[in-house]
A and B are shown apart, each in its own frame.
Chain A
């Protein structure tokens, strides 16, 4: 039978009898969706500006280092110093993007829809943390890897810093996890994005200022041992001390001397405690939000 072309046939409602995957699939879908959102993918052009400008800024030191290695044959930046030197940029990315990951779901009340799916509160929080952790890791790992590729290609006399590179990648994972937990936990407390951005940045400035001032004061009083502890108020030095120095025995970031002996262990404990505290706060926060 020949049908006239150009006619749309209403095929009626069709039931779905394909696969229904589990919570893991849904959680992964949420994490990918959130990660894309953090970089502004699938959103307006305007929301891509901040993340991609910051990615560009993060790449600058790697590009400059490669240029130095290629042109004046001198070693570039140390891998394990990268995060500490670029900490302000990492903090700005964390502050501007973590509210995006959590605030709209609270503000526009999408959360009840997620919870009406098989996923649990833990899955939801886990997916958001995973997305932000992945974003922070990419932000650090990409420039570090670019720098490493540059170093291998240029091949200066002397050893390639493979161990330092791998150490810095482990450090990047540590930074990503700690920063994401802190950023998402703080941002989740307000449905308003602007307030979230301000809170995260204020917290970073406070920690960094207190750490620097306390170090200066204690050092001027001649108490170098106490001054060394002051670094561990800033989360960026906590990860450097715990992962780079503590686990892999790298030299601390420039100008910094960590407390000898138990210093790295304490840094590790601080790191784990901050992560634990953030996750606990997040779960409490979302329990309350879900009961509305």
Chain B
């Protein structure tokens, strides 16, 4: 079953071509759309919602053409923008109820759905307070709730983890996974970090400069992104040398080292090396390299 499909989709702006002959197909489940800033992710989402006209090519969402069936698409699709979009003087409940009505739900149904959905995204007592005082994490949850409140068949989430701390990011990703599996709603989620999406996606599409780089099931990606990022206060070179001696592949990346995970033992080797050299560990993070790094590595498929 096809959830959405594009065919030679092109969008030119006066100074850039945001989308360039993009042809992709997306099935049910969670699909990641990955690309650096300016790759054309948000532009694609706006075209899929029927809010922006393509310069050439076509797009279909849930079997409907975006050029002619925009309103019908927007009735059964949810959208979470990348930017702030919450009026600060309303409470999450008032806002979500209002947005449900804007999607065509009668008032009573809107209230019930809003209460349900706010609970699912993890907002409890605070939902009665004005949103102006919310943390970024809470704001992202309300933005997600308003995208789900009318029980769409598909949600388009534009950079939902942006601005979140590591814990907030993990919670958001877990929520996205639940939307796809437990709620049975298809998800298209964008990010400039491949590493975080591979944890929740069934399928990943990578675009760069509006062009399709790759579209494949998640398994084919994971091999390339088995990397840990290590940051130490001092002695980065010593650590790199030591790991090299122990047979690990290490690439310096600014103030950080990218260590290829050849087997689970790599983590032990890494831990022991840091201890032996008596280094101060600042950061140890799995699979969060930027998309450019992935494609700088040789692809061995």
Q: Which residues of A contact B (CB under 8 A)?
A: 12-16, 18-23, 25-26, 29-30, 33, 42-44, 47, 104-105, 108-110, 112-120, 290-291
Contacts and interface: CB of A to CB of B under 8 A. Distances in A.
B75 A20 contact: yes
A108 B105 contact: no
Given A13-B120, A33-B98, A112 B85 contact: yes
Given A105-B87, A112-B51, A113-B81, 7 more contacts: A19-B105, A20-B75, A43-B89, A108-B85, A109-B81, A116-B81, A117-B99
Nearest to A33: B98
A118 B89 contact: no
Contacts of A12: 182
Contacts of A42: 90, 94
A23 B109 CA distance: 17
6 contacts: A18-B106, A22-B104, A26-B104, A108-B85, A109-B85, A116-B74
Interface string B150-168: 1100000000000000000
Q: Which of A20, A114, A117, A290 has the most CB of B within 10 A?
A: A117
A219 B81 CA distance: 59
Contacts of A120: 71
A115 B106 CA distance: 19
Interface size class on chain B is 35 or more
B53 to A, nearest CB: 10
Contacts of A19: 104-106, 109
B146 A20 contact: no
Interface in B105-163: 105-107, 109, 113, 116, 120, 130, 146, 150-151
B30 to A, nearest CB: 15
A108 B84 contact: yes
Contact of A16 (B75, B79, B105): B105
Contact of B150 (A16, A109, A290): A16
Contacts of B81: 109, 112-113, 116
A179 B79 CA distance: 35
A35 B40 CA distance: 38
